[in-house]
Structure 1
Amino acid sequence: MPHSHDRQAGADNTYAAVFDAVRRIPAGRVTTYGRIARLIGRPRAARQVGYAMHRCPSGLPWHRVINAQGRISLPAASTAALAQRRRLEEEGVVFIGGKVDLDRFGWPDRD
């Protein structure tokens, strides 16, 4: 059984890879937790991407990561969700019915 520090090192490596991928998302584009997981070579780790996003460093464009349905994953009326939507709209991302068209605004164009 791995030691807890081994698991922590694995989580730290995953988080670092997630943060590197998020830094590459261009303004005006979005990506999903699942796409980030695939980009870092952990295609079944979308949930871990979500955990990493809860610990993202300041300056990271966290607002560009949304769920696979094209929606903001935070509670709808929360301050953070409103800030995420405002930031995306300021970058030119359009919401229709509370959703972003991933074909139009998704990054990367191909997984």
Structure 2
Amino acid sequence: MSENKKNFFEDVYEVVKLIPKGRVTSYGAIASYLGSKGSARMVGWALIASHSFTKIPAHRVVNRNGMLTGKQHFDAPNAMQERLEQEGVQVENEKVVDFERLFWDPAKELL
């Protein structure tokens, strides 16, 4: 893995660790905050890699519409939804209910 990619992944992890319990953000919001608008997919790759070696609350990162698109990368089929629900986030049909209200934007929150 290139040093640049490794640093980006570490930057992603640092942002994800700051998402408050009961809130969610998107891959694109993280990429934008890190100055890499258009790199949402790379944020997803970072989160997939995080499952194998560290405790990153990746379950709090969803797609731009609030869908649990990363759920297949968790240890059980419903693990992402269960973790969100444990934090008080309601999920229906693999989508965060009241997504706009629960959305945590690092560009606004981490001034």
TM-score range, shorter chain: 0.7 to 0.9
The 5 A counterparts of 1:21-36 are 21-36=15-30
- DSSP 3-state at the match of 1:70: coil
Measure how far apart 1:59 and its partner are. 1.5
**Alpha-carbon distance in structure 2 between the residues aligned to 1:45 and 1:52:** 11
Larger Rg: 1
Q: Which runs of 5+ in 1 are unaligned?
A: 1-6
**Alpha-carbon distance in structure 2 between the residues aligned to 1:45 and 1:69:** 17
Name the Cα RMSD after superposition. Answer: 2.1
TM-score (norm 2): 0.82
Q: Which runs of 5+ in 2 are unaligned?
A: none
How big is each residue's C-alpha offset from its partner over 1:50-70, in whole Å with a ceiling of 9 and x where there is no partner? Answer: 110111142111110111121
**Alpha-carbon distance in structure 2 between the residues aligned to 1:75 and 1:109:** 22
The 5 A counterparts of 1:1-111 are 8-56=2-50, 57-74=53-70, 80-100=76-96, 101-108=98-105, 111=108
**Identity of aligned pairs, percent?**
37
The 4+ residue runs of structure 1 with deviation greater than 6 A are: none
TM-score (norm 1): 0.82
Sort the Cα spacing of 1:80 and 1:42 in 2 relative to 1 into closer, same or farther, 3 A: farther
Q: Quick check: 2:33–2:107 contact (8 Å CA) kept in 1?
A: no
Measure how far apart 1:79 and its partner are. 5.0
Number of residues of Structure 1 aligned to a counterpart in Structure 2: 104
Letter in 1 for 2:103: G
